[in-house]
């Protein structure tokens, strides 16, 4: 698995940022409003200039995702910041030629550490349009809590409103009101992934047997995973290509909501389990 880091934008990044966006038009435009048919170097220049200025003003903290050689892999950032209430939006995207390498997850975790440790925020929200299962899996893999679907939450594709999954990373060190009386559910299964060697065959099996429909999720140029949807069009599980996730255990991978994540992780080995990746 490759190792990635994040850094602030610089004005000299304009050409490289445009090249990265230009090669990724198709898969980015499907989920992000800013990628339009007329997207040009001028758009990239204005974005980079805004990213630099907004950082200096403390309004937003946009980063580039880079590999060990310093090559641009994607973009991520913390924006729409409410310092009064201690929360903001966390977003990410990865260029088409570097999908499936784990860059988005690593970047999101680095942003989490920056948001909690440096900015002192309490909550980071990852808003993912319904159907964008690649980004949804990234959000869940960071340990973000799935708080359900919000209706008409974001606009994509010419201002069309879309429902979106709300995920939240919560700062364990933030001062929080006692909600023990609220009867919050724990152990709820929010999502299921199945890691398999032949996702096409396995996804077809479940569509044929259970009457589900499938939505392809391109991981890279050679690999495709699938999101399986129920009759109402809601994604309920993912069939993931094991070749893209070599460090993941083949078979079912449930995502559970648990309190005090770090304490639960500490109990894994005590219970006879093994931490594959943290």
- At residue 60, the pLDDT reads 97
Q: Does residue 181 surpass a pLDDT of 50?
A: no
Mean pLDDT of the chain: 89
Q: Do 31 and 95 reside in the same domain of the chain? A: yes
Q: Do 156 and 247 reside in the same domain of the chain? A: no
> Per-residue confidence at 4, pLDDT binned at 50, 70, 90?
very high
Contact between 53 and 10 (Cβ < 8 Å): no
Q: Do 93 and 37 reside in the same domain of the chain? A: yes
Structure tokens at 192: 């299921």
> Per-residue confidence at 185, pLDDT binned at 50, 70, 90?
low
Q: Indicate the helix (H) or strand (E) that contains 162.
A: strand 160-170
pLDDT (tens digit, 9 = 90+) per residue, 242-262?
998 887 788 988 887 776 777
> Per-residue confidence at 1, pLDDT binned at 50, 70, 90?
low
Q: What is the CATH number of the domain that holds 233?
A: 3.10.180.10
Provide mean pLDDT across the span 53-60: 97
Provide mean pLDDT across the span 77-97: 97
Alpha helix segments (H runs only) across the chain = 14-22, 25-29, 41-57, 103-113, 133-141, 199-210, 261-266
Q: Does residue 18 surpass a pLDDT of 80?
A: yes
- At residue 184, the pLDDT reads 47
In a domain, 35, yes or no: yes
Q: What is the CATH number of the domain that holds 63?
A: 3.40.630.30
Q: Do 130 and 256 reside in the same domain of the chain? A: no
Provide mean pLDDT across the span 22-47: 94
pLDDT (tens digit, 9 = 90+) per residue, 107-155?
999 999 999 999 999 999 999 999 898 999 999 999 999 898 899 999 9
- Comparing 44 with 189, which gets the higher pLDDT? 44
* φ and ψ of 39, to 5 deg: -55, 130
> Per-residue confidence at 179, pLDDT binned at 50, 70, 90?
low
| Percentage of the chain modeled with pLDDT above 70 | 95
DSSP 249: P
The residues near 165 (Cβ < 8 Å, ≥ 6 apart) are 127, 128, 129, 130, 136, 139, 146, 148, 149, 150
Q: Point out the domain boundary residue: 121, 150, 174.
A: 174
- Comparing 215 with 120, which gets the higher pLDDT? 120
Provide mean pLDDT across the span 5-26: 97
- At residue 261, the pLDDT reads 72
In a domain, 77, yes or no: yes
Listed residue (61, 63, 74, 62) closest to 2, CA to CA: 74
- At residue 222, the pLDDT reads 83
In a domain, 277, yes or no: no
> Per-residue confidence at 278, pLDDT binned at 50, 70, 90?
low
Cα–chain-centroid distance for residue 245?
A: 15
Q: Do 13 and 148 reside in the same domain of the chain? A: yes
Structure tokens at 159: 């201002």
Q: Do 257 and 163 reside in the same domain of the chain? A: no
Q: Does residue 231 surpass a pLDDT of 50?
A: yes
Listed residue (149, 148, 47) closest to 93, CA to CA: 47
**Overall domain count for the chain:** 2
Q: Do 121 and 224 reside in the same domain of the chain? A: no
Q: Do 84 and 202 reside in the same domain of the chain? A: no
11: containing domain: 5-174
Q: HSE-up of 49 (CA within 13 Å, CB side)?
A: 6
Q: Do 143 and 48 reside in the same domain of the chain? A: yes
Q: Do 162 and 199 reside in the same domain of the chain? A: no
């Amino acid at each position: 698995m490759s190792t990635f880091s994040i850094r602030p934008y610089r004005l000299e990044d304009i050409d490289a940022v445009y090249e990265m966006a230009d090669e990724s038009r198709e898969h980015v435009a499907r989920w992000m409003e800013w990628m339009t048919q007329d997207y040009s170097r001028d758009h990239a220049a204005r974005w980079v200039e805004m990213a630099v200025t907004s950082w200096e003003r403390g309004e937003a903290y946009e980063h580039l995702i880079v590999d060990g050689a310093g090559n641009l892999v994607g973009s991520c950032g913390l924006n729409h910041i409410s310092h009064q209430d201690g929360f903001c939006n966390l977003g990410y995207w990865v260029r088409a030629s570097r999908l499936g390498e784990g860059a988005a997850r690593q970047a999101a975790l680095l942003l989490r550490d920056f948001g909690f440790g440096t900015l002192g925020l309490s909550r980071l929200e990852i808003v993912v349009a319904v159907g964008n299962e690649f980004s949804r899996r990234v959000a869940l893999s960071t340990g973000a809590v799935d708080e359900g679907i919000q209706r008409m939450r974001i606009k994509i594709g010419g201002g069309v409103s879309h429902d979106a999954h709300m995920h939240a990373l919560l700062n364990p060190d933030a001062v929080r009101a006692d909600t023990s009386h609220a009867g919050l559910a724990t152990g709820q299964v929010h999502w299921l992934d199945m890691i398999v060697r032949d996702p096409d065959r396995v996804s077809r099996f479940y569509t044929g047997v259970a009457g589900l429909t499938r939505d392809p999720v391109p991981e890279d140029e050679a690999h495709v995973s699938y999101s399986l949807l129920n009759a109402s069009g809601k994604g309920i599980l993912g069939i993931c290509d094991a070749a893209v996730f070599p460090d993941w255990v083949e078979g079912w991978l449930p995502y559970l909501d648990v309190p005090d994540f770090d304490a639960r992780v500490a109990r894994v080995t005590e219970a006879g389990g093994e931490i594959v990746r943290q």
